[in-house]
Amino acid sequence: MLEGNQDNPEPLLPQKGLTPMAKKAELLEEAKELNLDVTDKNTISQIEIAIASAKSDAEDAAETPVKTAKAGKRSTKAIAEVEEKIAKEERKEAGDTTAQSEEGEARAAKGPRPVTRPLVERRGKGYQTAAKLIEKDTVYALADALELATKTSPSKFDASVEVHVRLGVDPRQADQNIRATVSLPNGTGKTIRVAVFAPEADHAGAKKAGADIVGDETFLAQLDKEEINFDILVATPAYMPRLGKYARLLGPRGLMPNPKSGSVAADVATATKEAKAGKVEYRVDKQAIVHLSIGKVSFGATKLAQNAKAFFDSLQSQKPTSLKSAYVKSTSISTSQGPGIKVANVVN
């Protein structure tokens, strides 16, 4: 608080038409707005001096340029970015969507953005016709879904019928990385080419079982040339180390023999028969989804249902014991180029 000025006790003359008390009250009100530490014990002169000093300091601060650094948060570039961000937030709150640059104005002058059509409308006429037969929000029973799948294939060829199951597992966990094989009662409808890499003593049995390619050294010579004309490769455990050289060739194509898929077996004849009969492998992908073809549209709903039941029974047997959440989240069925059909959960 300012002390009374003993050297100059005489107050300034009040303005015309304003009493000293009213003048003092007006000055105190102005000093309060400036957050000055003065009271009615101070004289009018002291209050006026304090107000004038505060206003002078404010003007000097406004005229003094802000010191900036060469780099960091106090650099000119950083300060400009902060100011631009604050201005952007203010425009966003105010709902201002006008262009803020010449490039933006030029783009806005071209007119409104084109309206993106729904995905169904961007499909072919055959797909759109098939999609009209499916109620988008309806969850069908398995038998009804398979019957509908045979009627909604827009393809001119004999399309495959595929099952897609989204699981509640974490594929990154070793015990939840679902991978197994299943023998479909009616096969897949595809011609499976089986190659057998085994000792010469097993060649005759493999050929009798229906193997398309049988060999040892001659087979390795084909792999050296990167000739791959088979869908499944069966090998004996003793011959597996010799395939290590070709892991980069076979692995990415899913052709590397594996004990879990039954393609590594001492009895290559039995393994060949199972592969020819319709034994297929399925595994969960990174998105925790299992995809499997269970036959062709020409099979009809009954045969497709038998294959689907075999698959779902096998999938149920692979449920991890450590899983606490729901095992199956959703199931859908579709043909090769047809629309998806939602299916009720048939795996408990």
Residue intervals in the chain for CATH 3.40.50.790: 193-277
Contact 307, 296 (CB under 8 A): no
Q: What is the mean pLDDT of the chain?
A: 82
pLDDT above 90 for 277: no
Q: What percent of the chain shows pLDDT beyond 70?
A: 86
3-state secondary structure 167-216: ECCCCCCHHHCCEEEEECCCCCCCCCCEEEECCHHHHHHHHHHCCCEEEC
Instruction: Please compute the mean of the pLDDT values over residues 139-156 and round it to a whole number.
Output: 88
The Cα 249–Cα 257 span in angstroms is 12
Instruction: Please compute the mean of the pLDDT values over residues 145-162 and round it to a whole number.
Output: 88
The Cα 278–Cα 14 span in angstroms is 110
How does residue 63 score in pLDDT terms, banded at 50, 70 and 90? low
Residue intervals in the chain for CATH 3.30.190.20: 123-186+280-348
Class of the CATH domain delimited by 193-277:
alpha beta
How does residue 162 score in pLDDT terms, banded at 50, 70 and 90? very high
Q: What pLDDT, on the 0 to 100 scale, is given for residue 121? A: 74
User: Given phi > 0 = left and psi -120 to 50 = alpha, else beta, which region is 124?
Assistant: beta
Residue 38, helix vs strand vs coil = coil
Q: Which two tokens stand for residue 141?
A: 């029973």
Per residue in 74-91, pLDDT (tens digit) is 788 888 888 888 888 888
Q: What pLDDT, on the 0 to 100 scale, is given for residue 14? A: 47
Cα end-to-end span (Å), the chain: 82
Q: What pLDDT, on the 0 to 100 scale, is given for residue 306? A: 92
Instruction: Please compute the mean of the pLDDT values over residues 109-116 and round it to a whole number.
Output: 68
How does residue 45 score in pLDDT terms, banded at 50, 70 and 90? confident
Q: Is CATH 3.30.190.20 the classification given to domain 123-186+280-348? A: yes
pLDDT above 50 for 2: no
The Cα 286–Cα 298 span in angstroms is 31
pLDDT above 70 for 110: no
Per residue in 290-335, pLDDT (tens digit) is 999 999 988 888 999 999 999 999 999 989 888 888 899 999 999 8
Q: What pLDDT, on the 0 to 100 scale, is given for residue 324? A: 84
